[in-house]
Amino acid sequence: MNLYIYSDESGVLDVIHNQYFVFAGLILLGTKEKNICSRKYSRAEKTVKKKNEFASDYEAKATNIGNSDKNSLFRSLNQFNKFSVVIRQEEIAKEIFDCKKAKQRYLDYVYKIAVKRALEDLMRRKVFHESDIENIYIYVDEHSTATNGCYELREAMENEFKNGTFNENWNHFFPPIFPNMGVVQLCYCNSEKKLLVRGADIIANNVYHKAIKQEEIKCTKLHNIYCGKSISHYWYIMDAMFLLWIMAFFISFLWTKISSNTVCLIEHCIFLSNYVKLCRIMLKIEFLTKLTNA
């Protein structure tokens, strides 16, 4: 069975003017489901165009149509598997915004992890088994990405799905989720000519507007959509570090409680606070090094 993934983004990665950035799309299982989805969405799109008296070649993207039409198009995709991830830009290391290459590498990282988590979720729910997958075809709405950037993303996706990845910093190998699959094909395409990429645009727009209205929880109630947690520059390391900090704090508190030494407690709090700040700085440096290394 082949997997077909159609995706788009919503928002701009610019922390000064934007709070959120969204990746979202469709995950279609096999050629038969892809064809069914195409027919359903095409029929819904033709209805919207007829209702608004648009030309047959009019591009019915989220920015070009009204809310009721967007909802109608979104509902036509209810039965199909979808994914999304919301990036809270205020949580991203500020240095990333100063480097165009770092921004692109960060977005590529978020995208590949979002797709991977969505596929893992489908396997956990036994929608399909890893041995069922033969090839993966990914269609992304084209944007200003250099040719070498497209190649890097395709290679990163192939490593994540087929070959596995090795983290040198942690000396750990992450096995692939489809070790016996064939090819991973990534195609940047014009949404004007790719029907289901326009469908992905509608999904991304829906999630984006829920995010800016502080209604992210509603995304989890949408039909057949996997909503990934937002990814910041600390990844999951910060969660572990925070727990360690809490544990250390309580140990210090109990120790000083026993010794009844308030001054000692204050000194421990100051030390722990400085330790956390240092760890945050080191994590940012490590992350930026990964992003800027060719």
Taking Cα atoms as reference points, which of 230, 229, 231, 237 lies closest to residue 280?
237
Q: What is the mean pLDDT of residues 85-95?
A: 86
State the chain's mean pLDDT as an integer.
80
Residue whose structure tokens are 């645009």: 201
Instruction: Determine the Cα–Cα distance for residues 20 and 30; give it in Å rounded to an integer.
Output: 32
Residue 262 is predicted with a pLDDT of: 55
Q: Which residue has the higher pLDDT, 45 or 92?
A: 45
Q: What is the mean pLDDT of residues 3-31?
A: 92
- Most confident residue range from 108-117, 146-155, 261-270: 108-117
Instruction: Determine the Cα–Cα distance for residues 90 and 113; give it in Å rounded to an integer.
Output: 20
Q: What is the mean pLDDT of residues 2-6?
A: 96
Residue 197 is predicted with a pLDDT of: 95
Contacts of 281 (CB under 8 A, 6+ apart): none
CA 212-214-217 angle, 5° bins: 120
| Beta-bridge partners for 22 | 10, 86
Query: What percentage of the chain carries pLDDT values higher than 70?
Result: 70
- Dihedral, 197, 201, 206, 207 alpha carbons, nearest 10: 90
Residue 240 is predicted with a pLDDT of: 47
Residue 29 is predicted with a pLDDT of: 95
pLDDT digits (tens, 9 = 90+) for 195-204: 999 999 999 9
pLDDT digits (tens, 9 = 90+) for 175-188: 889 999 999 999 99
- Using 50, 70 and 90 to split pLDDT, how confident is the model at 231? very low
Q: What are the tokens at 30?
A: 């096999």
Contacts of 230 (CB under 8 A, 6+ apart): 85, 86, 87, 88, 91
How many residues are given for the chain? 294
CA 217-222-225 angle, 5° bins: 95
Instruction: Determine the Cα–Cα distance for residues 215 and 115; give it in Å rounded to an integer.
Output: 22
User: pTM of the entire structure?
Assistant: 0.74
- Using 50, 70 and 90 to split pLDDT, how confident is the model at 293? very low
Residue 250 is predicted with a pLDDT of: 67
Taking Cα atoms as reference points, which of 148, 7, 152 lies closest to residue 85?
7
Instruction: Determine the Cα–Cα distance for residues 245 and 145; give it in Å rounded to an integer.
Output: 40
Amino acid residing at 41: Y
| Beta-bridge partners for 172 | 167
Residue 243 is predicted with a pLDDT of: 54
Taking Cα atoms as reference points, which of 79, 112, 70, 57 lies closest to residue 208?
70
The continuous run of DSSP H or E covering 149 comes out as helix 147-158
- Using 50, 70 and 90 to split pLDDT, how confident is the model at 236? very low
User: What's the alpha-carbon Rg for the chain, to the nearest Å?
Assistant: 22
